[in-house]
Amino acid sequence: MEAKKLIEFLREPEQNASGWIQTAILKSGTSVIRLANQMNRKQDILYKWANPQDLERNFPLCYLPLLIRETGDLSILDELNAMFGRVAIPKDAWTLITQGVEQANGEVK
């Protein structure tokens, strides 16, 4: 586990999580209205989730897959992976890597 990143996150977890949500929304270039509609939420809720200053911004974890799907942004997962010392590799890349290893080992028919 990357203790330093976790400790840093835990100093202000709500603000850090809101920052991640804000980054995902902004990087996507998708309008908040469209995201809200796709997630079946009101747009003011998305603004709350992304606002580190809002005290009522609790982001339900159940909406994370929808946020990632609609924004196409994986930065929240990247942050979590870095925090816990895990590496995420896209499925297509993993397939290419394993095929390359198999070829190098003479295992491919």
Residue 43 is predicted with a pLDDT of: 92
Q: Which residue has the higher pLDDT, 72 or 108?
A: 72
pLDDT band at 10 (very low <50, low <70, confident <90, very high): confident
69: domain range? 3-104
For the chain, the domain total comes to 1
Residues found in the chain: 109
Is 20 among the domain residues? Answer: yes
pLDDT band at 42 (very low <50, low <70, confident <90, very high): very high
Is 68 among the domain residues? Answer: yes
- Given CA atoms 48, 66, 26, 42 in this order, what sign does their dihedral have? negative
Tokens read off for 38: 């796709």
Q: Which residue has the higher pLDDT, 107 or 4?
A: 4
Is 36 among the domain residues? Answer: yes
pLDDT(28) > 80: yes
The whole-number average pLDDT for the span 80-84 is 85
Is 23 among the domain residues? Answer: yes
Is 37 among the domain residues? Answer: yes
pLDDT(72) > 60: yes
Is 109 among the domain residues? Answer: no
Tokens read off for 80: 């979590």
pTM for this model (two decimals):
0.70
